[in-house]
Amino acid sequence: MRTFNVIVERDPDTGLFVGSVPGWPGAHSQGASLEELEENLREVIAMLLEDGEPKLESEFVGLHTIRVA
């Protein structure tokens, strides 16, 4: 079993959850709920892995909070 980091946002116009794997073009999907998004992302990632190991364009490091006065 593989594990991938996913960035999740909510589209303000549609209200849909949008998720993507950082640095992996094509590894993105959407869903009306977080559960639907997760299911859709699993399908997309499984399909992309059929082509072999991903060649990531960047590496996810983490999130940081920055305070601005």
Average pLDDT across each block of 10 residues of the chain; the chain has 69 residues. List them in order.
94 98 96 98 96 90 94
What's the predicted TM-score (pTM) here? 0.86
Question: What pLDDT score does 1 carry?
Answer: 85
Question: What pLDDT score does 57 carry?
Answer: 94
For residue 62, the domain's CATH number is: 3.30.160
Cα(23)–Cα(30) distance, integer angstroms: 17
Residue ranges making up the domain that contains 3: 1-69
Question: What pLDDT score does 55 carry?
Answer: 87
Contacts of 64 (CB under 8 A, 6+ apart): none
Cα(62)–Cα(69) distance, integer angstroms: 23
Q: How many domains does the chain have?
A: 1
